[in-house]
Amino acid sequence: MKKKRIVILGSTGSIGRSALDVIGRYPDRFEVAGLAAFSSIETIAKQINTFRPVAAALYNEEAAEGLARKTGMPVWGGMDGLCKIARLEEADFVISAISGAAGLLPTLAAIRAGKDVGLANKEVLVTAGAFVMDEARRYGVKMLPIDSEHSAVFQCMERGGHGLNRVKNIILTASGGPFFGKNRKYLATVKAADALKHPNWEMGRKITIDSATLMNKGLEVIEACHLFGVGHDKVKVLVHPQSIIHSMVEFVDGSIISQLSKPDMRSPIAYALSYPDRLEDVIPQLDLTAISGLTFAHPDLETFPCLAYAYKALGAGGTATAVLNAANEVAVAAFLEGGIGFNDIPAVIEEVMSAHPPRPVSSEHDALEADKGARAAAHSVIKRRKKV
């Protein structure tokens, strides 16, 4: 069997590290062709030493120069460097795991180079979903989901054995984060350290805050609509604190197919890497007898309005989802720095969205212009709120 050659965009983050763990377990099936990250020289240097890629890239150009001196290998810098490694001739599969809207251009570069993409960066489709999926179809590449929820939906649809016209609802599950069941008065007192204590998953800081606000689920709703070609009225969310059922698909006959496993990102990563095959012994086996119960609840949209804003942005269409995402990224960064409170995150998003008239997205430039404007608006809103 020919080895699949992998580029990982975001190799030093939680998804990237998990992907390397999977690849390292199956050296007869996979090899690393390229690694890319933001600026972490020491971490990526260790990965390079272990996996021996042909090239690397760092978004921080000064760090890229330092990594090149340290390793003596080709290291490309800046956004151009990320796009260059995404197009790497030696690779046939690219894992897109760079956090935030920064992943858009490298992912498009991979698509236009004819590389199949394992998508772990939901912001790519949130920012320019219809356009990106059109590009994937144009270049004949697969977009395989790595988010646990979308991988679950993908697997359920395959097992369902029918087209979209037989699907009644896609049901995404949410853990509820660390504040499930709390009220807005309580949330007004929480600090970043509290919000970063996710009960089930080990993730990066930004996505962990998104999980706490339910914005992560809102972004996943948008991603699901584009990945699976359904309207937002067909994508539902249920809070499932145990994080055992990763998502479900309800069919028109009333039957529901779900995908279960322990909460471990190596499982969806392995499925994307090996598709349509499955790898053995990727994560520990799920012991159903040890599960005391599986519970579900509707999300509290009054306490956690970010999910409602995501549906609103989907309904508005065009650049609205890019604006939602950009405002959220800025607000989350401000919260992590201690500049605003937890309840200020949705307030900033709502104000920025309300001031933006949505426009069509016919290219990546349309999405990036909306992203840029929304970031500036969010910074302005945050600055004004600090003075109040």
29 token code pair: 């099936």
User: Model's pTM, two decimal places?
Assistant: 0.94
> Rounded to an integer, what distance in angstroms lies between the CA atom of residue 223 and that of residue 209?
18
349 token code pair: 């998003």
Class for domain 4-145, per CATH? alpha beta
322-348 pLDDT tens trace: 999 999 999 999 999 999 999 999 999
Question: For residue 362, what are the contacts with CB-CB under 8 A and spacing of at least 6?
Answer: 131
Q: Is residue 284 classed as helix, strand or coil in its secondary structure?
A: coil
pLDDT in tens, the chain (388 residues): 789 999 999 999 999 999 999 999 999 999 999 999 999 999 999 999 999 999 999 999 999 999 999 999 999 999 999 999 999 999 999 999 998 899 999 999 999 999 999 999 999 999 999 999 999 999 999 999 999 999 999 999 987 666 788 999 999 999 998 999 999 999 999 999 999 988 777 778 998 999 999 999 999 999 999 999 999 999 999 999 999 999 999 999 999 999 999 999 999 999 999 999 999 999 999 999 999 899 999 999 999 999 999 999 999 999 999 999 999 999 999 999 999 999 999 999 999 999 999 999 999 999 999 999 999 999 999 998 875 5
> Rounded to an integer, what distance in angstroms lies between the CA atom of residue 242 and that of residue 264?
13
Q: What is the DSSP letter of 113?
A: T
> Rounded to an integer, what distance in angstroms lies between the CA atom of residue 208 and that of residue 35?
24
